[in-house]
């Protein structure tokens, strides 16, 4: 795994933690925003070099972040088929 891929993986883990910690919406309560993390993932995806796995690129471009995380963790066989027919 490259340094950039490691950074993407950590950012994906951070995104999942942020989304999970938000819990259900409570009227009047502020929730942490995942938007800065999604923007960071977009930046990191754009920085990936030529020759990056087409599967990883597909997951990141389609914002299938759980699938991207599983792929980076070597658990791609756990990915369920999506509507696009890619997996």
Q: What is the pLDDT along the chain (87 residues), one digit of tens a residue?
A: 999 999 999 999 999 999 887 666 667 667 788 999 999 999 999 999 999 999 999 999 999 999 999 999 999 888 877 666 665
pTM for the whole structure: 0.83
Q: What pLDDT, on the 0 to 100 scale, is given for residue 20? A: 83
In a domain, 55, yes or no: yes
Q: What does the angle CA 2 – CA 41 – CA 23 come to, to the nearest 5 degrees?
A: 120
Task: For residue 65, give its domain range.
Answer: 3-18+35-75
- Residue 84 neighbours by CB under 8 Å, 6+ apart: 62
Instruction: Please count the structural domains in the chain.
Output: 1
Supply 42's token pair: 């977009």
What's the half-sphere exposure (Cβ side, CA atoms, 13 Å) at 75? 10
Q: What pLDDT, on the 0 to 100 scale, is given for residue 24? A: 65
- Residue 86 neighbours by CB under 8 Å, 6+ apart: 55, 58, 62
């Amino acid at each position: 795994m490259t340094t950039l891929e490691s950074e993407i993986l950590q950012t994906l883990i951070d995104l999942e933690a942020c989304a999970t910690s938000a819990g259900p919406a409570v009227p009047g309560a502020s929730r942490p925003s995942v938007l800065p993390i999604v923007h960071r993932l977009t930046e990191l995806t754009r920085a990936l070099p030529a020759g990056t796995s087409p599967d990883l690129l597909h997951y990141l471009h389609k914002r299938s972040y759980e699938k991207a995380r599983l792929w980076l963790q070597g658990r791609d066989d756990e990915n369920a088929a999506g509507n696009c027919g890619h997996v």
